Structure 1
Amino acid sequence: MKNRMLIGAVALISTVALGGCGVIPGSGDSGSTKVTVWLMKDSVTADFLDRFKKSYEESHPAVELEFKIQSWSGIGPKVIDALGGKDTPDVIEVGNTQVAQYAESGNLRDLTLESMRDLGSEDWLPGLAEPGSIGGVQYGIPWYAANRVVIYNKDLFKDAGIKNPPKTRAQWIADSEQLNRDGNQGMYLPGQNWYVLAGFIWDEGGELADGRGGEWQGSLNTPAALKGMEFYQQLQALGDGPKDADEEKPPQSDVFAEGDVAQIISTPSTSTLILKKNPELKGKLGYFPIPGKTAKAPGSVFTGGSDLIVPAKADQRSAGYEVIKALAGAKWQEELATTMSYVPNKPSLAHVIEGEESTAAMAEGATRGHATPNSPQWAAVEADNPIKPYMTAVLQGGDPAEEAKAASAKITDALAGS
């Protein structure tokens, strides 16, 4: 569930953290309908949750909300047990890429009609909506999103004579080369940042895996996916990022904080770590969406985030959906965006973060968001991720087509349960 680390990083913006596996009890009277909601630790602040609870119970006097805060560690088996009827809550927050796994159990409520009628599902961010829909059935209601942007050092850009962030891949490469001429690293990109690679593959029209034939097949060896890897290789060569490690080894925030790296690709919340390491960079950090192939649209990005689901065996299924309708509706989406610096579930709501450079850049990129392949077995791919060694092999001089073929075969085996 490495995509959850993306959201965990965003949660650093929170000023108040919720306690793990705690309960925020309801305040309604004994005759109330109790709706139990599982939310994940640090998804929202305690203040946000208190305000939502108070507002919702005032407008729904017959409802008592009980929030139970869960830890991401070990959450998969716990949700599966709950869906099977063991201490089943009425609403569960899940990672957007986990919905397929839980839908496979057959124990999720179909929310297709409700989402179309009440929530304007046609306008949802694709990176949240698509993984929540399995076989044309909407099981997951998009709640919030976060994605990667380019974080840059404004002083280094100014010193290199670069007045505006690039809008196209070609200009991005040219600017990064210019930044290198001043003795800095134009781009620090580790060799195994496979979520970034996924965006470049999607830009070319490719996929990490393809399930259109009825059976999932790894597809890193398609011409489109190989073009995405070719661009990654070109960009990665513009700095000294390790070819055999990801963005955590060493932490790229620490590398950027040294002051001679012009750009990294990360979530905006990484700036919190950068400034903690080097407070002198305060006011010097800028943000822009990953550039696209043309200036008409930013580059594709992996969208991490959360969906809300209703167990089919929940006691209060209808009342649970009403809570989801509020959380996913315009009012509380705007509150969530301004409180947590998340991207709202609809592009039309992004106006609330105008003026917030980092979040606005993230929201612009989110319009080109995607999720990992919508297979219930995708977690098995990430458990022993063959994409990362494939990337290293290519960056170290291996034949891209042969390495991609071998990695695709491993993805196919994992998706088949082998």
Structure 2
Amino acid sequence: MKRKLIAAIGVATMAATVAACGSGDDGGGGGSSDAITVWLMDGSAPEEWVDELNAAFEEEHGVTVNVEIQQWDGIQDRVTTALSEDGTVDVLEIGNTQTVGYANTGGLAELGDLAGEPWNEAMLESAEVDDTLYAAPWYGANRVVIYDKGIWEEAGAEVPTTREEWITALETLQENTDAEPIYLPGQSYYVMGGFVADEGGSFAVEDGDGWAGALATPEAQAGMEFYAQLQEFSNAPAEIDEAEPQQSVDIVPNGEVASWIGLGWEAAGAVAAIEEQGGEADFGYFPIPGETADQLGHVFLGGSNLAVSGRAGNSEMANEWLAMATSQEWAQKFVDANGGGVVPNRTDVTATPEEGSFAEAMVASADVGYLPPLTTGWANVETDPNPIKELMTKALNGEDYQAAAGEADSEITDRINRE
């Protein structure tokens, strides 16, 4: 997964960094019977939660926990190296779209003792291979619609609960204000993927022992058609994604944008940028609507898992630490420490974010999260030039959908089946 879909996912609600308990910044720790090494990603957990958890673990087991904070840049190479060495790391945080790949290459230990825990089903999918648990879900987050309350009030637009109402609101904004009703660049493919999932489709499907692209299907075409319907209300080019230019700091603060679709860190970034310019942000938030009021739209559920290295120096204590960190008690404390602003990893954990907050809208969609194909080769699909992005641009520019989707499916099939 891209860094900004994981690392900064909860900037709006999470503490800025995790303090290392013990030695290390990016180095590796050797195995020891009285210590374990835990790799956490920069920005993934509140400092107070980490400190309290490790103090409780050390008191119970008499084992020191050395937390080493990792940066997302270059993390895949570092993890690959660490998992090939004895005792470099015991427990590590892994992005949810990366977990299956590391499990398939034999780098992760099986976590059979945790298989029966009440995990969030949408998050559990990324942690299993052939019904075997190789990681424990830790946290998730997803996009919501962010809107300018003042512009919506001026237009007389109402917060929608269905796709149809959403289009009506955008029409109202277009008719009654000079603002751009929605900023939606042509290549926000994870947003489009949610609409495809609403229709029962996916980017790719299992095909025998491999995978095959699935964009030339009625479901994917219907999802793309709704995306195109929304995109008609945007001035954004069809050839760019949400990252370049960055919608939260380059677009929203510098123009009249009535609404956009983003993550928590993007909402926080937009607020900060507007305030730096001497303005005042007044955002509201609502979940991406579904086709009916009783079913929210699907959203890409990004996040991280916690795993034990297959070559851990202290596998027994590594398993004990992971079990404690993801237990009901400590998972609830993790959610509370984040102000309810993460999707809980367990069904027996509750999130009670502040009313009207980004987190409230985000958590509402937790049960309709979707993930891309969970296979080692998916990273090859997301490499530029991304065939899904290219298809979206072609479709928005009026090219024949089926022909363009057929080309994209061929490319996806070739890439996803590479090791």
Indicate the residue corresponding to 2:143 in structure 1.
148
Could you say what secondary structure the match of 1:156 adopts?
helix
Give matches, 1:18-417, under 5 Å.
18=18, 24-25=22-23, 33-58=34-59, 60-116=60-116, 119-121=117-119, 124-126=120-122, 128-163=123-158, 165-181=159-175, 182-253=177-248, 254-258=250-254, 260-279=256-275, 282=280, 284-340=282-338, 341-346=341-346, 348-355=348-355, 357-384=357-384, 385-417=386-418
Counterpart Cα distance in 2 of 1:16 and 1:159: 36
Using the TM superposition, give the Cα deviation of residue 315 of structure 1 relative to its aligned residue in structure 2, in angstroms: 2.8
4+ long deviations beyond 4 Å: 280-283
After TM superposition, give the deviation of residue 47 of structure 1 in Å: 3.2
Q: How many Å separate the matches in 2 of 1:143 and 1:264?
A: 27
SS for the counterpart of 1:367 is: helix
Aligned residue identity for 1:218:
G
Q: Distance in 1 between matches of 2:51 and 2:381?
A: 38
Contact 2:381 2:415 in 1 (8 A): yes
Instruction: Percent identity, please.
Output: 37
Question: Could you list the per-position Cα deviations for residues 235-293 of structure 1 after superposition, in whole angstroms to 9, with x for gaps in the alignment?
Answer: 11112111110112222113222352111000122122112221266461011111011
Aligned with 2:351: secondary structure? helix
In structure 1, distance between residues paired with 2:322 and 2:50: 13
Q: 1:51 to 1:25 in 2, by over 3 A?
A: farther
Match of 2:28 in 1: none
8 Å CA contact 1:150–1:264 kept in 2: the answer is: yes
SS at match of 1:351: coil
Deviations 1:113-134 (A, max 9, x none): 4230xx323xx140x2111111
Contact kept, 8 Å, 2:184 with 2:260, in 1: the verdict is yes
Matching residue's letter, 1:324: L
| Mean Cα deviation higher: 308-317 or 129-138 | 308-317
Cα deviation for residue 189 of structure 1 reads 0.3
Q: CA offsets per residue over residues 205-232 of structure 1, 9 Å max, x none?
A: 0010101532100111111011100100
> Kindly tell me: are residues 406 and 255 of structure 1, through their superposed partners in 2, closer, same or farther at Cα, counting changes over 3 Å?
same
Contact 1:16 1:47 in 2 (8 A): no
In the alignment, residue 78 of structure 2 is paired with which amino acid? Answer: K
Instruction: Give the Å deviation of 1:388.
Output: 0.8
CA-based RMSD: 2.1
Aligned to 1:97, the other structure's residue is in SS state coil
Cα gap change, 1:84 to 1:275, in 2 (>3 Å)? same
Counterpart AA for 2:406: K
Letter in 1 for 2:209: G
Partners of 2:148 and 2:283 within 8 A in 1: yes
- Count of equivalent residues: 404
Alignment TM-score, normalising by the size of structure 1: 0.91
CA deviation after TM superposition for structure 1 residue 54, in Å: 1.9
Normalising by structure 2, we get a TM-score of 0.90
| CA shift in 2, pair 1:223/1:112, >3 Å | farther
| Distance 1:197-1:347 versus aligned 2 partners, 3 A rule | farther
Deviations 1:42-78 (A, max 9, x none): 21233332222223323x1422111111122222232
CA contact (8 A) 2:284 2:356 kept: no
Q: Which amino acid aligns with 2:7?
A: G
What CA deviation, in whole Å up to 9, does each residue of 1:388-418 have, x standing for no partner? 1111111111111111110111000101229
Unaligned runs of 5+ in 1: none
Q: Which runs of 5+ in 2 are unaligned?
A: 25-31
Q: Is the 8 A contact 2:54 2:65 kept in 1?
A: yes
